[in-house]
Amino acid sequence: MKFIWKNIIYCFGIPREIISDNGRQLQGRKIQEWCQGLRIKQRFTTVAHPQANGQVEVTNRILTTPRGSTGETPFSLVYGTEAIIPAELGMPSHRVMNFSEECNENLLRENLDLIEELREKAFLRIQRYKNIMINSYNKRVKSRSFQVGDLVLRRVDALKPIGKLDPTWEGPYKVTSVLGKGAYELEDPEGRPLPRPWNVHNLKKYFA
């Protein structure tokens, strides 16, 4: 429990769940009550089933793989350095084989001094990435708009269960008001207003 307090909770806050193997030290009544008191869920991997550690491996891969939006690994943006992954211990990499405690300490200090610059660069990359995605989306999606009096079809409400052969559009409805930002107020053929505005992405032109 001291390890969890010092290395996890003090650094990152209280986790929602802890996934571990079936070690006795993690299954005792004391730690179970302690986790319950902090509302931490305990989950254990299956005995004699190595594949059960897949979730841990996936998480490690996420933390140590550079993201397309930032160009950096999540681990490096938090700690200012790259993590040593388990594979590097089984088949030592160059940095593991040439490890020097003194050089490592100096390098960590340098990386910590530069971590804000690293995060700033990652932030700028994210902004560029967002702009690229927005431009790509705008090229694929044809913009459309309606005017008061236009007849439109409305996409069947996703909250209503529909079958495979049921129509996905209903109407026509008349546009009664343009609210801006692609939102419209509609009324049915009897002149009754619909209870809420509808976004242009859920509408299409009705042709009689």
Low-confidence residues of the chain: pLDDT under 70:
46-56, 85-92, 141-142, 158-164
Question: What ranges make up the beta strands (E) of 34-133?
Answer: 41-44
- Is residue 40 situated within a structural domain? yes
In a domain, 127, yes or no: no
> How many separate helices (H) and strands (E) can be counted in the chain?
9, 7
> How many residues are listed for the chain in this entry?
208
Residue 38 domain flag: yes
> Is the domain of 110 the same as that of 48?
yes
Does some domain include residue 123? no
Same domain, 94 and 7: yes
Do the domain assignments include residue 126? no
Give me the pLDDT at residue 1, please: 80
User: Which tokens in the block code for residue 182?
Assistant: 């692609």
Residue 89's domain spans which residues? 2-118
- Given 93, 118, 143, the domain boundary residue is 118
pLDDT by residue (tens digit) across 32-47?
Answer: 899 999 899 988 876 6
Q: Which residue has the tokens 């002149």?
A: 191
Of 69, 83, 72, the C-alpha closest to 118 is 72
What is the tens place of the pLDDT at every residue in 192-207?
A: 999 889 998 889 999 8
Residues 51 and 113 in one domain: yes
Q: End of a domain among 74, 100, 118? A: 118
